[in-house]
Amino acid sequence: MKVAVLGAGAIGAYVGAALYRAGVEVHLIARGEHLAAMRQSGVRVLSPRGDFTGHPHATDDPGSVGPVDYVFLGLKANSYAAAGPMIRPLLHETTAVIAAQNGIPWWYFHRLPGPYEGYRIESVDPGGSVTAALPLERAIGCVVYAATELEAPGVVRHLEGTRFSIGEPDGSISARCTAFGEAMAQGGLKCPVEADLRHDIWIKLMGNIAFNPISALARATMAGICRHERARALVVEMMRETVEVARRVGCEPRISIERRMAGAEKAGEHKTSTLQDLEKGKPLELDVLLAAVVELAGLTGTDVPTLRSIHAVTDLLDEQTRLGLVPAG
């Protein structure tokens, strides 16, 4: 098995090091000081489950890697449309692309029986640009439950969780998913192949859709939001509206809002990825979180006033960030 990790940041490098430990031929594609450190000393993983170091090949040139069996995408979803030139050298006829992303993926309605089968979600696949870069037949979904951060170039701090659920858009338990899941397990990670990955997508999204934008607007941690009475009520209402949209497109999340809130509280003084991006002056990954669900609400005639309001103000925040008008840090 030959795997390329495109966007080998905290999550990507963690996965790459684990697969390398399982004996997989791994190529990490990164840049800057992080790439230089991985070339020199490998990937150092610091984890409560045991520290380890992996030494996969690391490069900034996909052309030097050539075609692989799997491309694991560690990029933010808002980078997918521009990733075509980086991905093309990695593809052969049957290469699968495993997209480890938050929110609603570009493939969501691909091979999903029902009234919306084949619908392209404009907010996550504008003009079909993501599909052009990442053809639907190559897509394998992935919902990440692991938390990691780059402690230093080449050094990944694993905080909690080892689960990377994967699944085919058509719900089949395919040979390509099974083989990848087994390799991940041999490397010490959990990688169940789910027949209904969309269920996992909505459960994770229930938290992301509320905590990520609110954390950026308030510069607050997960625990800080939960402690604030009115902010907590706002999160609950956003979750309620999100669950209703999920139901309208045929998915019934099998978890209560109360249980989802309890899970979020356990994260403690954790900064969401959106808040971290804001503090670094990076574009905010909001299209797949908020804009997509607002679009689906319009498609299904679902009333989501709270989501629409939060989307409006965070979209403004993102615009100001891109223009350099929001101070970082």
Nearest to 147 by CA among 134, 162, 135: 162
Strand order in the sheet with 139-144: 57-59, 25-29, 2-6, 70-73, 96-100, 139-144, 164-167
Q: How far apart are CA 97 and CA 135, in angstroms?
A: 9
Asked about 190 being catalytic, the answer comes back as no
Bridge partner list, 141: 99, 167
Name the active-site residue from 2, 76, 190, 204: 204
Distance, in Å, from the CA atom of 34 to the CA atom of 173, rounded to the nearest integer, reads 36
Strands (E), 67-226: 70-73, 96-100, 139-144, 147-152, 155-160, 164-167
Largest Cα separation within the chain, whole Å, is 54
Rounded to 5 degrees, φ, ψ at 258 are -60, -45
Task: Enumerate the active-site residues.
Answer: 204
